[in-house]
Structure 1
Amino acid sequence: MKISYIEMHQLPKMAWGAIVEKDSLHVTVYHGKNVETQKDFFVEGAWEGAFAKGRFDQADFFNGSGGRIKQKKYKRTFMFSTASHTLDRLHTIRLKNKLIVSNSMPFALHLAHARLNPRYLDYEKDLNSILKGIYRYKDWIPLKGQKKLYLHYYCNLVIDKHLNIEKEKKMEIAPFEHYEHYRQILSCTLKQFIENAKDPLRKQPYGIVTTISNGYDSAACAVLAKEAGCDTALSFDRPEHYAEDCGLSIAQQLGYSSIILKDAQKYLDNEQLIETAFVSTGELGSGVVYTSFEEEMADNIVIFGEEGDEFWGKDRSDANDGFRFPDDVMAGVSMIEHRLRVGYIFTPLPTFGGVQWKSLWKLSNSPEMQPYSIGGSYDRPIPRRIVETAGIPREAFGMNKKGVGINYRYDSFSRLKERMSKASFHSYQQYYKHYRKFDREHFQRWLRYLFDTKNVYLHVALRKLGIESNLTMPNAESETNPGAPAYLIHWGVQEMQKRYRNAFERKYKKYLNLLQNENNRSSAVLSEERSPYSEEIMAEIGRRSRE
């Protein structure tokens, strides 16, 4: 049993794909340049522990993914670990005598020579089912040709020599007793996390930047990040509705010396189809605005306030220990492929201690937090206390809920055209025209979708008339839009798979040319250098010939 590493600079910096062989349990890992590789483990990301020990599987706060050899008495297994939240995941595909594991769905599909089924229109619903929690979500999606791709969140995967997969629970974290207890553990964990990311033993140490707005969550995260040594804050100041949420003033008051403001719509000028990275995850585009900050994010920890509305919300009486958000409609996974390509550690700070959401909810509603409760539907005492005790006036933040990002879920074609780059819209339009279908099933989907989402469109209409509404919005069970956005995931994954395929072709171009010539028996083909890659190359040639 051993790990063989094949570094490929053509791959996204933090992407990895592993092929686990039956019986020998030999693991071959193809990976980008920012993936840390050691004799007994590999990892992309950081955790609150000593880097050299590689015990990310036992961490309370692990952001990233990795794998390691696990020795238990006389039994050796291999373990893969997910992040300590449900905004990221691992993907597995089972073949005859192999198991494919990857932190990227398109990469896993490439290594398995598999594809999404263009006739299956429930991928968004399936991938959003994680909102039902880690015990109830649909853990697989169908592929073309009867294959399945399995999805794994918030767990460790233990693989034995027969390629059986055992899901091992993450380590339990103790309930938070009171505010100071929570605040101290949160700050201490963040500092240890940063130390791990900066460890000199890494081939790629990381700096730190934070996002900031004048809402609750990112402002509180900016306070915590500043205390831990962060001095760069990122915020949007245009277009107009983003300017209203800009965190410039708060960042200045906190003492940030580097405050970078950018346009949230910069992505509209791209010609590289960058929207594909965000729709291919299963969430239709939410994080695409952050492409404005790629230069600042690269090779850094990037602090986000993601899921603060859940874990820090006072009115979330549905608090549970399974990351279950049944009333939400978007899973928050859109940054997966983007972080792998740009090379940053996606760090949603409010998710720390997420399995103790019940104790956080009790804390938010406790008497000691009452002075930091302002009432109304937008009321989060925990982040308010963090920010106010840092010297920021009450009226300067957390007054109106705004948020950033876009989502294509409810868009028509005219709306998609406005909110996608010209190149991406044209590419998607061609894909849609090729695969769209109009039949009885499609008509029935439209009826279900309109019934599920009628309040969304009514809410928009009332707002245009200046009327506030309190209508019930769709949730994780709602029907996928069978209209313009119906094939965004299929299109995004196909385009991302092309990039992974091209990475292999560029890496092995000379071998591909030699192997395609049946009469060429050059010693170069039979060389020791070529042998570790021969199976992948031959399979790739076979796949291309089938196309």
Structure 2
Amino acid sequence: MPLTFKYNENSSLPLFAWASIQSRGSDIVEVLHGAAVETHPAWGGDAVWPGAFETPVLTDGYLLGSAISISGEEVVYSSSFHSLSRLHIISQGSRLIVSNSLAFALALADDELDEQYPLYARDLYSVRTGMDHCKKKMPTRNGSMSLLYGKSIRVTRDLVIRHQDRVLPDDFDDFAGYKRHVLDAVAALSANAADPRRKKPLKVISTLSSGYDSACCTIVAHSQGCNEAISVVNATKSQGDMDDSGKAIAETLGLTHYKIDQNDYLTSGHAYEAEFIAANPTGEDIAIAGAEHLLSGRLLLIGHHGDKVWTPNITNATDYKRGDASGGSLVEFALRVGIVLLPMPFIGAHLQPKINRISSSAEMKTWWIPGNYNRPIPRRIIEDHGIRRGDFATDKKAISNTIARIFELKDRLENGQKQAGSYKEYARSMNSRMGLRARLSLLISEKGSLLAEKIVNRVNWMFSLLRIPYRFARPFRGMAFRLGANWPIYHWAVTEMRARYKSQIDHPGN
């Protein structure tokens, strides 16, 4: 008997959420999914790829979202080409559960996070060290969960798993070639996303700010026919709030420009905090939730990772080593609302040495500016499209929120005090049950790794003063995100989201 999918749509689930159950020796792979997930005899998922919709290419190229497919006698699970999202795999002996949502996988497996393991935030934040070096397995109450970034796995009927690397294009050597590479990829992805044969065709919208990264995304999207952009109007810096809307760019391009305040999400009544923190413990992208009414059914261009891709002379691995894990907290929100994320700077970033050479080449000197906020490639793309120098990228801003600020804001609102109180009570309970081993591992991770990194940094600094060319590696870079007293926040958020999924599984349609 050939392998076949048995699709089970659940209208209670997030639009793009899916999870599969593959049983050992069975010819049938059960797939439980939301209403907008594609369901075809040979493949399914929330995937977008740069090619014809009728001939899906899921294991190679710039795949967005995730997919499941049948290849001969194997089931193939494919994750996004970038590192903002991942697939979650739980093996339970005679069955294998795979999902694009961590909380969904736990709910379907009747499993939970291990309350005596306080280092989930560290493990997930380690993705900033690159997809080849980050943490790929985490403990659960009943076993463990594997994380799949940027690759595919092929699974036999006997549940034997083998990994398959993703092949990405390599077709540029200078600025013109790189620009064409990015434009062509965005055009192909946009066309695939908008294909009318999809259950939910996706219309392109871009984020926009007055900085480099999202402004470049907007320029590229506009060159491919996109006329809409969305901005968070209050960027947060230590000295206060400031306008970061990219208004001058929107006016020059004639865009329909939607502006939201970074705190708009607080008045919606929806419990966004658990949703964003469960996707990634930083929760820092939560401000975009205020634009939910604008984002359903969208291919959303975002500028995450632009700082490392486009800043000259930064040495990055070809597996997307990053400065942070921003963008990852968008995933659960995107699954529910029906958004496919396109972090445009990741396109071509596997060829980081080439991009560095282009940035530093003689042809780019016109677009170099003094100071630390210098990114000649996006500056040239933006200025080539008629945006004046001075209308963008004059100062580094940010719209991210910290965990402390997220709940400080929530606690001020009468309708938000219940959720803030829920977390506080949960944290108190977790701290009271925390065993000695868990306390020691948290102390060593948060204090010990910080001390070790300071020592390495100081030794390297001394070597530079003495003009000694050797530098020690920074082995603790993946531990740099430290929650401190808020360590239970990820357990709380996943527990909340797992309960939502469990209710949706047990009571479909409610």
Q: TM-score, normalised by structure 2?
A: 0.89
2:175 maps to 179
2:285 corresponds to 1:284? no
Corresponding residue SS for 1:335: helix
Equivalent residue for 1:119, pick from 116, 119, 124: 116
The offset of 1:505, in angstroms, is 2.3
Q: Distance in 2 between matches of 1:391 and 1:443?
A: 57
Displacement of 1:239 in angstroms is: 7.2
Partner of 2:267: 269
Shift in Å, 1:288: 0.6
Q: Give the SS at the match of 2:147.
A: strand
What do residues 172-205 of structure 1 show as CA deviations (whole Å, max 9, x unaligned)? Answer: 3215210111111211111111111111211211
Q: Against the structure 1 CA distance between its residues 387 and 3, is the aligned structure 2 distance closer, same or farther, given a 3 Å change threshold? A: same
Q: Report the CA distance between 1:282 and its aligned residue.
A: 3.0
Residue 417 of structure 1 deviates from its aligned partner by 4.4
TM-score norm. by structure 1 comes to 0.83
Q: Give the CA deviation at 1:138.
A: 1.6
Deviation at 1:150, TM superposition (A): 0.4
Partner of 1:463: none
Whether contact under 8 Å (1:47, 1:63) holds in the other structure is yes
Q: 1:46 aligns with which of 48, 56, 69?
A: 48
Work out the CA distance in 2 between the residues paired with 1:311 and 1:172: 16
Classify the secondary structure of the residue corresponding to 1:45. coil
Q: What SS does the corresponding residue of 2:270 show, helix, strand or coil?
A: coil
Letter in 2 for 1:176: F
Which secondary structure state, in structure 2, belongs to the residue aligned with residue 336 of structure 1? helix
Shift in Å, 1:412? 11
1:405 aligns with 2:404: no
Q: Flag the 1:25–1:480 CA change in 2: closer, same or farther, 3 A.
A: farther
The answer to whether the 8 A contact 1:105-1:281 is kept is yes
Question: What does residue range 87-486 of structure 1 map to in structure 2 within 5 Å?
Answer: 87-145=84-142, 147-174=143-170, 176-238=172-234, 243-256=242-255, 258-316=256-314, 318-325=315-322, 328-330=323-325, 332-408=327-403, 417=411, 421-437=416-432, 442=439, 445-446=442-443, 449=446, 475-478=477-480, 480-483=482-485, 485-486=486-487
For structure 2, list consecutive stretches of 5 or more residues without a partner in the other structure. 454-473
Residues in 2 aligned to 1:203 and 1:356: alpha-carbon distance in whole angstroms: 34
Cα shift at 1:283? 2.8
Amino acid in structure 2 at the alignment position of 1:29: V
8 A contact 1:93–1:148 mirrored in 2: yes
CA distance in 2, matches of 1:134, 1:448: 21
Describe the shift of the 1:440–1:329 C-alpha distance in structure 2 as closer, same or farther (beyond 3 A): farther
Q: Retained in 1: the 8 A contact 2:39–2:45?
A: yes
Pick which of 130-139 and 335-344 moved more.
130-139
CA distance in 2, matches of 1:421, 1:481: 22
The number of residues matched between the two structures is 481
Aligned letter for 1:61? Y
Secondary structure of 1:210's partner?
strand
Corresponding residue number in structure 1 for 2:79: 82
1:424 is paired with a residue whose SS is helix
> Aligned ranges for residues 65-80 of structure 1 at < 5 Å?
65-71=66-72, 76-80=73-77
**In structure 1, how many angstroms separate the alpha carbons of the residues matched to 2:265 and 2:320?**
31
1:142·1:148 contact (CA, 8 Å) conserved in 2? yes
Aligned-partner SS, 1:436: helix
**Aligned-residue identity in percent:** 28
The 8 Å contact of residues 445 and 479 in structure 2, kept in 1 or not, is answered as: no
CA shift for structure 1 position 50: 0.7
Q: Which amino acid aligns with 1:294?
A: E
- Which secondary structure does the structure 1 equivalent of 2:67 belong to? strand
- Larger Cα Rg: Structure 1 or Structure 2? 1
Is the CA contact (8 Å cut-off) linking 1:446 and 1:481 kept in structure 2?
no
Mean CA deviation greater in 101-110 or 45-54: 45-54
Could you tell me which amino acid in structure 1 is paired with residue 252 of structure 2? Q
Please state how far the C-alpha of 1:248 moved relative to its aligned partner: 1.6
Distance in 2 of aligned mates of 1:412 and 1:51: 40
Q: Gaps (5+ residues) in structure 1?
A: 457-471, 510-547
Shift of 1:26: 2.1
Q: How far is the alpha carbon of 1:320 from its aligned partner?
A: 1.8
What amino acid is the match of 2:246? Answer: G
- The residue number in structure 2 matching 1:495 is 496
Rate the CA distance shift 1:443–1:92 in 2: closer, same or farther, 3 A. Answer: closer
